[in-house]
Chain A
Amino acid sequence: METVDMDENIISFNHVSFTYESEEKVRVPAVKDVSLNIRKGEFVAVLGHNGSGKSTLAKLTNAILIPESGTVLVNGMDTSDEDLIYDIRRTAGMVFQNPDNQIVATIVEEDVAFGPENLGVAPAEIRRKVDTALQEVGMYEYRLREPHKLSGGQKQRVAIAGILAMETSCIILDEPTAMLDPRGREEVMKTILRLNKQMGITVLYITHFMDEAVQADRVIVMDYGSIILDGSPREVFSQVERIKSVGLDVPQASELCFLLRGDGVDLPEDVLNAEECISAILTAVKG
Chain B
Amino acid sequence: MVKDITIGQFFPGDSILHRLDARMKLVLTFALIVIIFVCKSFFSLGLMSAFVVFLTLISRVPLKTILKSLKPIVFIIIFTAVLNIFYTTGGAVLAHFWIIKITEKGLFTALFMAVRIICLIIVSSLLTYTTTPTRLTDALERLLSPLKILKIEVHTIAMMMTLALRFIPTLIEEIDRIMNAQKARGADWESGSLLSRSKALIPVLIPLFVSSFRRAYELAFAMECRCYRGGKGRTRMKQMKLGWRDFAALAVNSALLAGIVMLNIFFPSVIS
The answer to whether A118 and B237 touch across the interface, beta carbons within 8 angstroms, is: no
> Which residue of B is nearest A102, CB measured?
B222
Nearest CB of chain B from residue A123's CB, rounded to whole Å? 6
A98 within 8 A of B: yes
The answer to whether A94 and B225 touch across the interface, beta carbons within 8 angstroms, is: yes
Contacts of B170 in A (CB 8 A): 100, 148
Bound Cα distance from A142 to B58, whole angstroms: 29
A:157-183 near B, CB below 8 Å: 162-163, 166
Nearest CB of chain B from residue A61's CB, rounded to whole Å? 11
A20 within 8 A of B: no
Bound Cα distance from A115 to B235, whole angstroms: 10
The answer to whether A120 and B235 touch across the interface, beta carbons within 8 angstroms, is: yes
Nearest CB of chain B from residue A252's CB, rounded to whole Å? 34
Interface stretch, picked from B48-56, B70-78, B159-167, B242-250, is B159-167
Contacts of B214 in A (CB 8 A): 101
A55 within 8 A of B: no
Bound Cα distance from A84 to B223, whole angstroms: 17
Bound Cα distance from A127 to B236, whole angstroms: 10
B3 within 8 A of A: yes
The answer to whether B133 and A116 touch across the interface, beta carbons within 8 angstroms, is: no
A:96-121 near B, CB below 8 Å: 96, 98, 100-107, 109-110, 113-121
Would you give the 0/1 interface string for B200-235, flagging 1 where the beta carbon is closer than 8 Å to chain A?
A: 000000000000001100110111111111000111
B226: contacting residue among A107, A130, A162, CB under 8 A: A162
Contacts of B163 in A (CB 8 A): 104
Bound Cα distance from A122 to B166, whole angstroms: 25
Q: A100-B215, A106-B133 are in contact. Are A122 and B225 (CB under 8 A)?
A: no
The answer to whether A93 and B225 touch across the interface, beta carbons within 8 angstroms, is: yes
For B162, B163, B235, the residue with the greatest tally of chain A CB atoms inside 10 Å of its CB is: B235
A48 within 8 A of B: no
B134: contacting residue among A107, A113, A116, CB under 8 A: A107
Contacts of A146 in B (CB 8 A): 169
Bound Cα distance from A115 to B229, whole angstroms: 11
Query: Majority SS of interface residues in chain B?
Result: helix
Contacts of A121 in B (CB 8 A): 235
B237: contacting residue among A86, A116, A149, A162, CB under 8 A: A116
The answer to whether A96 and B234 touch across the interface, beta carbons within 8 angstroms, is: no
Nearest CB of chain B from residue A89's CB, rounded to whole Å? 5
A130: contacting residue among B225, B237, B239, CB under 8 A: B237
The answer to whether B162 and A104 touch across the interface, beta carbons within 8 angstroms, is: yes
Contacts of A127 in B (CB 8 A): 237
B176 within 8 A of A: no
For A90, A93, A126, A146, the residue with the greatest tally of chain B CB atoms inside 10 Å of its CB is: A146
Bound Cα distance from A102 to B173, whole angstroms: 17
Nearest CB of chain B from residue A9's CB, rounded to whole Å? 21
> Which residue of A is nearest B229, CB measured?
A118
Bound Cα distance from A148 to B219, whole angstroms: 15
Bound Cα distance from A146 to B234, whole angstroms: 23
Bound Cα distance from A74 to B114, whole angstroms: 67
Bound Cα distance from A51 to B215, whole angstroms: 21
Contacts of A202 in B (CB 8 A): none
A147 within 8 A of B: yes
Bound Cα distance from A64 to B134, whole angstroms: 30
A62 within 8 A of B: yes
The answer to whether A149 and B3 touch across the interface, beta carbons within 8 angstroms, is: yes
Bound Cα distance from A106 to B228, whole angstroms: 17
> Which residue of B is nearest A92, CB measured?
B225
Nearest CB of chain B from residue A47's CB, rounded to whole Å? 23
Contacts of A113 in B (CB 8 A): 237-238
Bound Cα distance from A94 to B222, whole angstroms: 8
Nearest CB of chain A from residue B230's CB, rounded to whole Å? 9
The answer to whether A122 and B235 touch across the interface, beta carbons within 8 angstroms, is: yes
> Which residue of B is nearest A112, CB measured?
B237
A93: contacting residue among B166, B219, B226, B233, CB under 8 A: B226
A106: contacting residue among B166, B229, B236, CB under 8 A: B166
Nearest CB of chain A from residue B216's CB, rounded to whole Å? 9
Q: A86-B227, A119-B227 are in contact. Are A102 and B233 (CB under 8 A)?
A: no
The answer to whether A104 and B219 touch across the interface, beta carbons within 8 angstroms, is: yes
The answer to whether B169 and A166 touch across the interface, beta carbons within 8 angstroms, is: no
Contacts of A119 in B (CB 8 A): 227
Bound Cα distance from A149 to B172, whole angstroms: 13
The answer to whether B221 and A64 touch across the interface, beta carbons within 8 angstroms, is: yes
> Which residue of B is nearest A64, CB measured?
B221
The answer to whether B219 and A102 touch across the interface, beta carbons within 8 angstroms, is: yes
Bound Cα distance from A102 to B167, whole angstroms: 11
Q: List 10 A-B contacts (CB under 8 A).
A: A89-B224, A94-B225, A101-B222, A102-B219, A104-B219, A106-B134, A114-B226, A117-B237, A123-B237, A162-B226
Interface residues in chain B, defined as those with a beta carbon under 8 Å from any beta carbon in chain A: 3, 132-134, 162-163, 165-166, 169-170, 173, 214-215, 218-219, 221-229, 233-239
- List 6 tightest A-B contacts by C-beta distance, closest first: A102-B222, A101-B218, A113-B237, A148-B169, A126-B237, A115-B226
Apart from the given pairs A96-B218, A98-B218, 5 other A-B contacts in the complex at a CB distance below 8 Å: A110-B237, A122-B235, A146-B169, A148-B3, A148-B169
